[in-house]
């Protein structure tokens, strides 16, 4: 038996050296087996050649039987694979899938997110209103987190004065529409996400149709008219709305969703602030990193909500004072006389 194994290994190595096909190498080993079996059957008991190759045909017949069983098993598996329906075949692993898995590994090992949560992020569709100070970090972190489809609507272009705080834009893209500048940055950050840029102002005639394509809305605008339009549309479509605002050194954020028992934006702010009480960034100034803090919080709340992790800011508002390093969390409630959401019956808060 040892002699046969040595000779079989030599034949296999010789076949590999001359680059013979695998089937040809198995054929050579098969012929060697047949020759040894013939020696055991044809030569008389005690013959030196027969003794040198084992002395008995029985063990060779057993070895041949095992070989036939293995061969038949492999042929049977191949036949079964041919009859598997295409839709039931496991997809072949691709380099892209392994790269994406490695990219999101730190999320997947989080108990609160895991594989199922990351899959929900990948299939989620999020619309961000505004690609300015708040939208910039929110968009970047949503893309980095692996949110599958991200829409962004804005009609502004990148200006030099934006670069102090709108970190998704760069000097080389001054004059470019913000949505396309943001798209370039997000796709460079994560080629596995789909970015939908809308280079136009959000108006009432398109809001409902646009929002209907998404699961979650993020509002980072600084225009009161747009904020109330976003809220009204989100409430009408029963879409959750993460809204944040900043001014000088302070910022606030909450998750508004009457369909989950939380108030809407109009419940908390029934009317826009009087002129001069809430100056714009151009009028009152703004701390450069402040939008980054609040925009990142928006992305955090979005990831939590979409992945079903933790406790979202439903019915609560976080207020951040950067100047004094103070953070407060206040309870907010629905107004029974709210002109926007009073007709919506709330359900238990949760995701």
On whether residue 92 sits in a domain, the answer given is no
What burial class does residue 29 get, using C-beta atoms within 10 Å of its C-beta: 0-12 exposed, 13-18 middle, 19+ buried? Answer: middle
Q: What is the pLDDT of residues 165-174, one digit of tens each?
A: 999 999 999 9
On whether residue 7 sits in a domain, the answer given is yes
What burial class does residue 174 get, using C-beta atoms within 10 Å of its C-beta: 0-12 exposed, 13-18 middle, 19+ buried? Answer: middle
On whether residue 245 sits in a domain, the answer given is yes
On whether residue 174 sits in a domain, the answer given is yes
**Given a cut of 80, is residue 110 above it in pLDDT?**
yes
Q: What is the pLDDT of residues 79-98, one digit of tens each?
A: 766 665 555 555 554 556 78
Could you count the other beta carbons within 10 Å of the beta carbon of residue 91?
Answer: 6
Point out the domain boundary residue: 73, 89, 111.
73
- Do 261 and 134 fall into the same domain? yes
Point out the domain boundary residue: 56, 73, 90.
73
pLDDT-based confidence at residue 349 (cuts at 50, 70, 90): very low
On whether residue 347 sits in a domain, the answer given is no
- Do 168 and 120 fall into the same domain? yes
Least confident of 112-116, 280-284, 285-289, 341-345: 280-284
- Do 242 and 288 fall into the same domain? yes
On whether residue 341 sits in a domain, the answer given is no
Strongest mean pLDDT among 52-66, 183-197, 269-283: 183-197
- Do 199 and 245 fall into the same domain? yes
The rounded percent of the chain whose pLDDT value lies above 70 is 76
Q: What is the pLDDT of residues 4-26, one digit of tens each?
A: 666 666 765 676 777 777 677 67
Q: Domain with 113 in it: what CATH number?
A: 3.40.50.720
- Do 69 and 107 fall into the same domain? no
What burial class does residue 82 get, using C-beta atoms within 10 Å of its C-beta: 0-12 exposed, 13-18 middle, 19+ buried? Answer: exposed
- Do 139 and 9 fall into the same domain? no
pLDDT of residue 347: 47
**Given a cut of 50, is residue 350 above it in pLDDT?**
no
pLDDT-based confidence at residue 175 (cuts at 50, 70, 90): very high
- Do 12 and 118 fall into the same domain? no
Range of the domain at 156: 101-272+280-331
> Which candidate, 144, 142, 143, 182, places its Cα nearest to that of 162?
182
pLDDT of residue 351: 41
On whether residue 300 sits in a domain, the answer given is yes
- Do 29 and 177 fall into the same domain? no
Q: What is the pLDDT of residues 129-165, one digit of tens each?
A: 999 999 999 999 999 999 999 999 999 999 999 999 9
pLDDT of residue 57: 65
Q: What is the dihedral of CA 330, 292, 296, 138, to 10 degrees?
A: 120
Q: What is the pLDDT of residues 223-244, one digit of tens each?
A: 899 999 999 999 999 999 999 9
- Do 190 and 118 fall into the same domain? yes
The total number of structural domains in the chain stands at 2
- Do 222 and 176 fall into the same domain? yes
pLDDT of residue 251: 95
Distance CA 90, CA 148 (A): 22
Could you count the other beta carbons within 10 Å of the beta carbon of residue 246?
Answer: 25
- Do 161 and 227 fall into the same domain? yes
- Do 41 and 105 fall into the same domain? no
On whether residue 336 sits in a domain, the answer given is no
């Amino acid at each position: 038996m040892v002699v046969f194994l040595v000779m079989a290994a030599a034949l296999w190595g010789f076949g590999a050296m001359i680059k013979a096909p695998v089937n040809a190498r198995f054929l050579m080993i098969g012929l060697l087996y047949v020759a040894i079996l013939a020696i055991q059957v044809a030569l008389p008991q005690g013959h030196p050649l027969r003794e040198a190759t084992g002395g008995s045909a029985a063990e060779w017949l057993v070895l041949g039987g095992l070989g036939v069983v293995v061969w038949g098993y492999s042929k049977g598996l191949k036949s079964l694979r041919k009859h598997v329906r295409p839709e039931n075949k496991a997809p072949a692993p691709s380099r892209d899938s392994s790269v994406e898995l490695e990219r999101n590994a730190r999320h997947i090992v989080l108990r609160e997110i895991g594989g199922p949560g990351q899959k929900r992020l990948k299939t989620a569709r999020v619309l961000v209103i505004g690609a300015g100070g708040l939208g910039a970090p929110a968009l970047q972190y949503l893309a980095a987190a692996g949110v599958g489809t991200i829409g962004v609507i804005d009609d502004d272009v990148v200006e030099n004065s934006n670069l102090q705080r709108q970190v998704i834009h760069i000097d080389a893209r001054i004059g470019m529409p913000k949505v396309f500048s943001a798209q370039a940055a997000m796709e460079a950050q994560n080629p596995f996400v789909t970015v939908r840029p809308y280079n136009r102002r959000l108006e009432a005639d398109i809001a409902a149709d646009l929002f209907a394509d998404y699961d979650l809305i993020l509002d980072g605008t600084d225009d009161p008219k747009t904020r109330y339009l976003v809220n009204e549309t989100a409430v009408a479509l029963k879409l959750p709305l993460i809204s944040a605002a900043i001014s000088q050194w302070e910022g606030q954020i909450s998750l508004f969703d009457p369909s989950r028992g939380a108030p809407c934006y109009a419940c908390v702010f029934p009317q826009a602030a009087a002129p001069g009480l809430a100056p714009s960034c151009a009028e009152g100034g703004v701390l450069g990193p402040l939008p980054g803090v609040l925009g990142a919080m928006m992305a955090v709340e979005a990831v939590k909500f979409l992945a079903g992790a933790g406790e979202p800011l439903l019915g609560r508002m976080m207020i951040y004072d950067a100047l004094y390093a103070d953070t407060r969390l206040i309870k907010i409630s629905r107004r029974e006389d709210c002109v926007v959401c009073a007709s919506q019956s709330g359900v238990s808060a949760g995701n």
